[in-house]
Every structure is written in C-alpha cells, then in structure tokens.
C-alpha cells in the first residue's frame, strides 16, 4: 500500500530556506495518474495547500506562497521536495505531503497523506 514520509530539519532560522522531502513507497511518483502535493497546518489552525507537482514537471503553486516556493521531483529516488524561502515565524507548521489523482486532466482530492513533520521557525 502506498506510503508517504516527510523528512527534513525540524528547526529553521528566520529568513532562511525550509527544505523538506517526501519519500514515496509502495508506488511510483513517475505515473501519469497522480499529482503529488504539499499542505501545511500551523499549530492549532486549519489546512493550507502549498503546491503540487506532476512527474512531467508540471507544477501548480498557491499564489499566496508562489514567490517563495519551489517544488521539485526525483523519480529515480521516488521523492519530491519542497523549498520555502525567506521563512518567518508564520511559516511554523506541520507540513504534509500527499498524493492526488488526476482524471481526464482534473486534479482531485488528497489521499493518502504522510504523517506530517513539524517545522519550527525560530532563531
């Protein structure tokens, strides 16, 4: 069964770049059937979609974060990654990676999700 696992530093200094990787097991990210996305959740708050990437390199970003976000993928390692630059305390959150299906060109819901990783922005 498909599993996703986020990894990366749990503490990032303000103004630096947050870098996370999602490793996928039990399935390939190099498939035409799915996009692979990132979602975050500040402590005690709701969910915010960050962006999603396709194996061909097609990427969609949330406009609210687009200027600071870079998504990439490495099909040889079955991983995709997130970089968020110029972080502030407002970027402190649990970051999730997730898969979403594509049907007739329409990108759909998120399922499954990784367990999430807490990233704290603090000096």
Partner 1 sequence: AVRMTQSPSSFSASTEDRVTITCRASQGIGSFLAWYQQKPGKAPKLLIYGASTLQSGVPSRFSGSGSGTDFTLTISWLQSEDFATYYCQQYYSYPYTFGQGTKLEIK
Question: Footprint of partner 1 on this chain (CB under 8 A)?
Answer: 46-49, 60, 62-64, 96, 100, 106-116
Q: How far is the CB of 103 from partner 1 (least distance, A)?
A: 10
Q: How far is the CB of 43 from partner 1 (least distance, A)?
A: 11
Nearer to partner 1, 38 or 81 (CB): 38
Residue 57, beta-bridge partner list: none
Nearer to partner 1, 15 or 64 (CB): 64
Nearer to partner 1, 5 or 16 (CB): 5
What's the CA dihedral at 55, 68, 98, 100 to 10 degrees? -50
Q: How far apart are CA 48 and CA 68, in angstroms?
A: 15
Count CA atoms closer than 13 A to 108's CA, side-chain side: 9
């Amino acid at each position: 069964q498909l599993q996703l696992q986020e990894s990366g530093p749990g503490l990032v200094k303000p103004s630096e770049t947050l870098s996370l990787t999602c490793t996928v097991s039990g399935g390939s990210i190099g498939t035409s059937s799915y996009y692979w996305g990132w979602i975050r959740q500040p402590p005690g708050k709701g969910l915010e979609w960050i962006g999603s990437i396709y194996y061909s390199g097609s990427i969609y970003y949330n406009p609210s974060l687009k200027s600071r976000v870079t998504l990439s993928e490495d099909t040889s390692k079955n991983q995709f990654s997130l970089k968020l630059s110029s972080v502030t305390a407002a970027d402190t959150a649990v970051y999730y990676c997730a898969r979403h299906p594509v049907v007739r060109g329409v990108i759909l819901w998120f399922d499954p999700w990784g367990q999430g990783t807490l990233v704290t922005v603090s000096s």
